[in-house]
Amino acid sequence: MENSRKTYIRVLESLLALHRDLVAVLEREADAVIGHNVQAIEKAALEEETLVEGIKAAEQKRRKVLIRMGGEMGRDLGRATLRDIAEMSGGEYRKIMLRLRSELRKVAEELARKNKLKMLLCEQSLAHVKTMLRFLTGGSETGLYTSGGVKEEKSQQVILDQEV
């Protein structure tokens, strides 16, 4: 049981470190967007993708450890919060888990702020691109080219048609 709690704490610390790294990447990405540095944006996007994959893997490990802890305690911890788990663990584990919970909450709030800033910067950048496109096209409506290369007329301005 004690081993599971220690493992759970190590996984939480790993998740915290990954999320902090993600905050740093989002800061660099915002700076790159502001500076119109496409290479830095692309690099940050790749780092972000790698970190997100790491977070997914750590989260899967956290769930496995939680299932093992629940089995050892004779409880279903599937819906338990970190506060619940800390209270059940007690002692020094409780203190550590509650501290990690507090730090994870702060990082989550920071991530939300960074993502909102990223969204606003992208919207502003897109508005600038649209303005420049209107300037370059003489303010005329732009068409949309289909995958077959045929231009379709649209009632609104379209910059790009891309299949994902």
Which pair of structure tokens corresponds to residue 134? Answer: 């209107």
For the question of whether the overall pTM of this predicted structure is more than 0.85, the answer is no
Dist CA 105 CA 2 (whole Å): 25
**Which range among 40-49, 126-135, 139-148 shows the weakest confidence by mean pLDDT?**
139-148
Q: Which helix (H) or strand (E) holds 85?
A: helix 82-89
**Above pLDDT 70, what percent of the chain?**
84
* Mean pLDDT over each residue of the chain, to the nearest integer: 86
Handedness of CA 62, 67, 73, 76 (dihedral sign): positive
Residues 6+ apart with CB under 8 A from 25: 44, 47, 48, 51
Q: Parse the chain into domains and list their residue ranges.
A: 2-123
Average pLDDT score over residue span 153-157: 52
51 near 18, Cβ under 8 Å? yes
Dist CA 153 CA 143 (whole Å): 5
Dist CA 42 CA 92 (whole Å): 43
DSSP, residue by residue, 24-38? HHHHHHHHHHHTT-H
pLDDT of 18 above 60: yes
pLDDT tens digits along 54-104: 999 999 999 999 999 998 888 888 889 999 999 998 899 999 999 999 999
Average pLDDT score over residue span 112-131: 87
